[in-house]
Amino acid sequence: MSVDEYITKESKYLMNTYSRLPVVFSRGRGSRLWDIEGKEYLDFLGGLGVANIGHCHPAVVKAVREQMEKLVHVSNLYYTIPQIELAEMLVGISFGDKCFFCNSGAEANEGALKLARKYGKENFGGSKYEVITAFRSFHGRTFTTLAATGQPDKQRPFKPLPPGFKHVPLNDLDALKGCLTENTCAVMLELIQGEGGVYECEMGYIKGVRELCNRENLLLILDEVQTGMGRTGKMFAYEHYDIEPDIMTLAKGLGGGLPIGAFIAREEVARFFKPGDHGSTFGGGPLATLAAVAALKVLREEGLVDNCATLGSYFKQELEKLKERRPIIKEVRGKGLMIGVELHRDLPAGRQGIARDIVLNFFHRGVITDNIGDNIVRFLPPLCITKEEIETVLGIFGEVLDEWKDRLLGEWIDG
């Protein structure tokens, strides 16, 4: 079948929930993808931050293949070794004491919110249930995590949403203080808002939030679904800020490509969950947890977090140089290999949506990336990326921006 035939078939049988690019991928290895026609692509999106160790890492493939032949699934009513081993590893490298495993980032955030409410109600009386999150945040697509998400456009079609959430501007500590009530039990933040446009928490702000939570007996929940597992140049993004959360959520890069999520909490918080309070049929299964054990070993043994820090710094520095030469770039944001490039919005009439056009231009030149809204281009490459691959993408980006200047934006740039 041809690509067009697969696309026609997809539109017939699948719900229309994605704006897909016209490609059918069939193979991946490291930082590369291949489509069914054999064309090679350089993946600078990493499956939306999932492929931290690259595609089909041999260690993960070997672990999964061996586990498939022994035991694929058993209920959480019984013990399995990979689940226990993964929990021990995550506790060993983080602030936390106890883990719960699920299947996705949304499930991880949902579980963290349930734990925070139970902690608040049982620890301080029945009225503490509200959670404060930030505008532009993204915490998932279930009803509760959508209610936590600070993006009205995503919420509007699905209202009414579950109550108990308030939203405040990021990096505005006074706004957060003004939003507290006797019902507040937790503050939930992404240290870098990924889906919202790659906006970072400021150092003074997050330290102030930590102090505020301590003073007001509130839990600090950090959503590290995208920033965790080395993505920002440290194993967890909170390590950049010299603070620790009370609960942290993980997913995306955790499983080496397999679906798995987790939330991790301090013992004094985790102890409020009792048998029957929370659970998952598939969460923490032996296949996904063994894949995560293998992926975590790869991250550490191959020095990928250090590689992310070094090459992420280089990539961002070179993008800043590109900005000096191409004034259409407004700002470069992010840490490690989680980078957003914001383009100026004040384009001529009919020329909005430039970010999507740039993503398409990258795609036709064999590079996979992504846009957030009309004017932000996002890069989330595997952490095993090389300097040469970054230079290739920088070169293409410069050419694409020059084409825009020459063909479409000359009047705006020069005028």
The residue from 118, 128, 234, 252 that is catalytic is 252
138 is catalytic: yes
Contact 52, 231 (CB under 8 A): yes
Q: What is the residue whose two structure tokens read 């919420």?
A: 155
The residue from 138, 165, 236, 273 that is catalytic is 138
The residue from 43, 118, 128, 223 that is catalytic is 223
44 is catalytic: no
* Catalytic residue numbers, as ranges: 138, 223, 252
